[in-house]
Amino acid sequence: MKPIKAYRNPEFMNSPDARELRILAEYLEPKRRLEAEGIEDTIVFFGSARFAAGSKWYEAARELAFRMTQWSKGLDPEGGRRFVVCTGGGPGIMEAANRGASEARGRNVGLTISLPREEGVNPHVTRELAFHFHYFFMRKFWLAYMTKALIVFPGGYGTLDELFEMLTLVQTRRLTKPMPIVLFGNEYWKEVINFDALVRHGTIDARDVDLVYRTDSVDEACAWLIRHLTEEALTKPGAML
């Protein structure tokens, strides 16, 4: 019997010794598919997986993703794919955003993660752009690396973790590209994150509060994002992480 090649040996590939290869695979395989699909950059939606269709947050995310997709599709008559909606690929706000993009006949991305209680990818993610990750940090890398704007709806621990990681990258200037960030849902965010208290206690600067734009209006969020993306992402070279 022939010896098994190392990369075909499941015992080795799933062992601690091959962890570096698995991490690299979660960088190279998405990169290959995104390039093949012509995805230049994304607009990322964060938010709770617990909001059902028909709820105000779900429907707002759906409408905002629909409008942003319609706008982005009109940018390049040659068929380039700019500012493609991207989510964590699961239910709730993620599903709403993927659904809105799909209803606007746009490609959209879903980056799901392996969890003890599997949720699976929502049915609105473009099939060729559905990714499944083992490592949270590689999933976060792809959420951050491709995005040119971030929209954050009310959410729990996962949403807060994702939001604060992005804010940290922007505040510390490790993210060199312009990054418009919308916090959607004024009352929720006012209650959950007291930015003014952080300033008062001296843990952030007053100007750090302006890293986010807060609104309850799909119209306002859409207009603000389009203005920033037009002024920054469309007219200047795209700096990355």
Q: What does the pLDDT look like over 174-194, one tens digit per residue?
A: 998 999 999 999 999 999 999
Average pLDDT for 139-152: 97
For residue 2, what pLDDT is reported? 85
- Record the pTM: 0.93
The per-residue pLDDT for range 159-177, each reduced to its tens digit, is 999 999 999 999 999 998 9
Q: What is the pLDDT of residues 1-41, one digit of tens each?
A: 888 999 999 999 999 999 999 999 999 999 999 999 999 89
As beta bridge partners, residue 215 has 184
Chain position carrying tokens 């919308």: 182
Among 75, 142, 129, CA closest to 102: 129
- Beta-carbon count within 10 A of 33 CB: 15
Dig out the tokens for 26 from the structure. Answer: 């979660």
Mean pLDDT value of segment 146-155:
97
Q: Please determine, for residue 49, whether its predicted confidence score (pLDDT) is greater than 80.
A: yes
Q: How far apart are CA 18 and CA 7, in angstroms?
A: 9
Mean of the per-residue pLDDT values for the chain?
A: 94
The pLDDT of residue 239 is: 44
Domains, the chain, with CATH or none: 40-233 (3.40.50.450)
Position 237 scores a pLDDT of 52
User: Does the pLDDT of residue 241 top 80, yes or no?
Assistant: no
- Is the confidence at residue 240, as pLDDT, over 60? no
Is the pLDDT score of 201 beyond 90? yes
Q: Distance between CA atoms of 32 and 131, rounded to whole angstroms?
A: 12
Please give the average per-residue pLDDT across 79-101, as a whole number.
93
